[in-house]
Amino acid sequence: MTVAYDPQNIFAKILRGEIPAQKVYEDDHTLAFMDVMPQGEGHTLVIPKAPARGLLDADPASLAAVAATVQRVARAVKAAFAADGLTVFQYNEPAGGQTVFHLHVHILPRFDGVVLGRHTGGMADQGVLADHAARIRAALEAA
Ligand code: 5GP
């Protein structure tokens, strides 16, 4: 069964400017911002501006724009945190682990020997997230 897109989801509200986010990158088709409950420092999300619940209902052009932004932001995240590697993932529907129903891709810098934190664990300090967002924006500008 197909579930309809709900325009009241939290990421749609971020796109409309109704709730704040620590933004790192924006273009005509995509937005990237810090995850408020990071699974590690530098945990960043990339979303399309076009409404889509997940991978399966997204317009292919929107998906292509998301993929390009994921690559651009992932390079900056890796540089900003001097990471050894990256983990990139995307969940679909509650059974797949999705909790916010606007398509999004997670980008996490990874470090040798450091285990990934819990999904939707604790809220991060806003000052820390603002600092991390600034580091990623600086890396994007330097790219
Ligand atoms: P999902 O489980 O749907 O793949 O992940 C949703 C992600 O969104 C989680 O990692 C969660 O921490 C993050 N998140 C939930 N609410 C908010 C919010 O209001 N702002 C931001 N920036 N991230 C959120």
Instruction: Enter the tokens of residue 17.
Output: 């400017």
**Residue 119's pLDDT band (cuts 50, 70, 90):** confident
Is it the case that residue 106 has pLDDT exceeding 70? yes
**Residue 121's pLDDT band (cuts 50, 70, 90):** confident
C-alpha distances (whole Å) from 136 to each of 3, 6, 44, 119, 140 are: 34, 30, 9, 21, 6
| Angle value at C-alpha 74, between 15 and 23, nearest 5 degrees | 30
Identify each DSSP E strand in the chain by its residue range.
23-26, 30-34, 44-48, 85-89, 105-110
Domains in the chain, CATH or no CATH each? 10-142 (3.30.428.10)
Kindly state the percentage of the chain with pLDDT values over 90. 92
CA of 35 to the centre of ligand 1 (A): 6
28-38 pLDDT, tens digit per residue, is 999 999 999 99
Residue that the structure tokens 């994921």 belong to: 70
**pLDDT, position 8:** 98
32-69 pLDDT, tens digit per residue, is 999 999 999 999 999 999 999 999 999 999 999 999 99
Tell me which of 27-41, 57-71, 83-97, 112-126 is least confident: 112-126
> In the structure, which protein residues have their CB atom closer than 6 angstroms to any atom of ligand 1?
10, 21, 33-37, 91, 97-100, 120
* Residues acting as catalytic residues: 104
CA of 81 to the centre of ligand 1 (A): 21
Is it the case that residue 117 has pLDDT exceeding 90? no
